[in-house]
Structure 1
């Protein structure tokens, strides 16, 4: 009897042991995000907590780096298999696909996803007809303005063209309301390329033609000439040449800029009375156009979430990506980044309190202009960043600086 009982207990223990790893198995995935603009770190953590509650068998380790470190962190970690999920900029799929950094997820994209997501958002994750993730941050730069300052200057409507912006800034300066009314993100970084691209789109310029640089003439040259003119005129804050987007936000929120070009996230942050001196005075419109050429201008600043080829847990990683990019998650956190889903814009939970931003988004998101699609984007961007800095500092003419950039672009 005792032997029989022992056998039964041993059998039960063995069965229990065989089930135990499954009952308590926990897969850990590592995800890399950026610590600026769009969704806040707190929002990403809250979304991830919700995912963990729904998927208790998957643990997600989060890491946040500044945008400037995102690309290199992703690439350098490939050898060690450091990340399963990474946030990537719209400018990187060509390089990441060519160098086998991201998993081709074309087969995982469902018809419902294809139908539900705004067509423009898909360009964020596509290269050569394949999908390398899900779009997550749908973003462009808008023109923000201080309603109170414009009113004091007697300006009734915000500028519709870039020339009008300069005229209105001059009026504000001449009336002694602000010494330098415009703030830009012109630090020698990708931020400057986003401002430059916005202007290239306004002037109907081309970055590349037949795979070769074309920005050194036409709209590309007009765009840089405008930047230099704005800088030298004294209408632009001289510190713009060192500013990133967060610097622009702080200057605008402090009431020290009448106009600022920035991403979606600034709208609700600048309207928060806890942190902003201009809460309730923030206006937003699409970035202006150029008379006879364009009604508005916009850069595609969208970003996607993808699974790395180094991931040992691609199924769990994809499950996390689809949760983070799902419509319910995006609608819940629509104050710092607007959803990728078309029907979200009919949802009062998304639009309430930010109707002005949504109106600007309908124009801006439809006008989004891409930075060049090339596996050599990093070299091209670095060359253009240098050209912009040299032109602003008067070390080179815009014509010569852009010619040098074309020569040093690797294309």
Structure 2
């Protein structure tokens, strides 16, 4: 799940390129042990919400230990904001790394390139991969190998206040960015509410980039594409949304203010993810009126199609684990259909297996709302080890563009130059 980096930090922090580290990716061994013969202790780092989600994962671990009594699991809940640096430090030093870690999908290429996580092809962890939905399964790949098991998934969609749209005389949510801007103006004129609140975090810019045929880079051509004509179109549209459709953006506290405005009915539409829904439903316009919250795909660009980044988490296995067999078995158990149904039912997170979308699971309005959005629009981010670092210079220059201290073209040209420092061997397309 990608909630976005701090905009205030993005303006000041300079990205550092990933440092390569050696490590074998050959996990072939003699004939795998039968599950009943596997024993030992493994450590699992879980990044789920400690209060609302972790109890479900702990209960599943007890079931795993009951089914495989020779294996003990040392469960540790690690905050999502801390786990990346903590895992990289432990893996690099070879001390204190967990056997299995719940990993943001955007980190798979970096961890794999550094030799920190094990390829899982042919292991127990990847049993019955045909049941996984294609989009989350694609997040596990790097250089032709599979390094994760899809656990939960998400994407960005368009959340909207049905009553405000109806009051403005709008029957259906907008399907293009031009309609989005036009509808926002109509909403403001007829209801007094703003059409949207533009999130200035660079992750939330991706639907605009993707829907206009743009991206950060082209790995096959080894080109940086963030400053090409389609990206200029996308950023020009973003600036227009801010100027003509959005409530005034507080760059120091954008995410919280955006959420508050939406929950209180001052904003009609947001580009947001399923992780926000529980918070949304606490607002005065949705609490006790959950059906007022609408779900739709992000709008499409001119001549393009609606696309948004795939988010979520995969289970990954530490390359240096002393108990790989138990780690593989644990990863398989925690991502099985039965486990995913349990997790989705209890936490409202979206499963990655087709078979886990049971009637019980899809009775959750959030899951039912985002399921078609995932199927229609979700796509992986560019598979580069440095992809996480790329968001920082993009965010810095995106903010300057929105604030009017840089033109769209100059801001993207500067972003491309910064990207080139992070991507040796890449040319600016």
Kept in 1: contact 2:263–2:282 (CA 8 A): no
The count of aligned residue pairs is 375
| 2:144 is the alignment partner of 1:129 | yes
CA separation in 1, counterparts of 2:183 and 2:252? Answer: 21
Kept in 2: contact 1:32–1:87 (CA 8 A): yes
Kept in 1: contact 2:50–2:77 (CA 8 A): no
In the alignment, what sits opposite 1:395?
Answer: 405
| 2:210 is the alignment partner of 1:206 | no
The 5 A counterparts of 1:90-169 are: 90-108=105-123, 113-169=128-184
Q: Secondary structure at the match of 1:321?
A: helix
Distance 1:36 1:170, change over 3 A: farther
In the alignment, what sits opposite 1:340?
Answer: 352
Kept in 2: contact 1:161–1:291 (CA 8 A): yes
In the alignment, what sits opposite 2:35?
Answer: none
| 2:101 is the alignment partner of 1:83 | no
Q: Secondary structure at the match of 2:75?
A: strand
1:226 Cα offset (Å): 1.8
Q: 2:315 aligns with which of 301, 305, 310?
A: 305
Distance 1:111 1:383, change over 3 A: closer
Kept in 1: contact 2:156–2:308 (CA 8 A): yes
In the alignment, what sits opposite 1:9?
Answer: none
CA separation in 2, counterparts of 1:60 and 1:281? Answer: 42
CA separation in 2, counterparts of 1:282 and 1:132? Answer: 36
Kept in 2: contact 1:34–1:70 (CA 8 A): no
In the alignment, what sits opposite 2:41?
Answer: 27
In the alignment, what sits opposite 2:74?
Answer: 60
Distance 1:111 1:374, change over 3 A: closer
CA separation in 2, counterparts of 1:360 and 1:338? Answer: 8
CA separation in 1, counterparts of 2:374 and 2:246? Answer: 24
1:55 Cα offset (Å): 4.3
Kept in 2: contact 1:267–1:357 (CA 8 A): no
In the alignment, what sits opposite 1:220?
Answer: 231
CA separation in 2, counterparts of 1:320 and 1:110? Answer: 8
CA separation in 1, counterparts of 2:361 and 2:292? Answer: 21
Bigger Cα Rg: 1
Q: Secondary structure at the match of 1:260?
A: strand
Distance 1:133 1:116, change over 3 A: same
Distance 1:256 1:334, change over 3 A: farther
The 5 A counterparts of 1:171-320 are: 171-178=186-193, 180-186=194-200, 192-209=201-218, 210-233=221-244, 235-239=246-250, 242-244=253-255, 248-267=258-277, 270-271=280-281, 277=287, 279-294=290-305, 296-320=306-330
Q: Secondary structure at the match of 2:270?
A: strand
Q: Secondary structure at the match of 1:144?
A: strand
1:61 Cα offset (Å): 2.1
C-alpha distance after superposition, 1:78-136 (max 9, x if no partner): 12233222222232222211211101111215785221111222111111111112011
1:342 Cα offset (Å): 1.7
Kept in 1: contact 2:125–2:331 (CA 8 A): no
TM-score by length of 1: 0.81
| Gap regions ≥5 residues in structure 2 | 1-38, 424-429
Kept in 2: contact 1:89–1:124 (CA 8 A): no
In the alignment, what sits opposite 1:13?
Answer: none
| 2:389 is the alignment partner of 1:379 | yes
C-alpha distance after superposition, 1:305-358 (max 9, x if no partner): 10112333333333332222111111123253221112333x21121242x853
Structure of greater relative contact order (alpha carbons < 8 Å, 6+ residues apart): 2
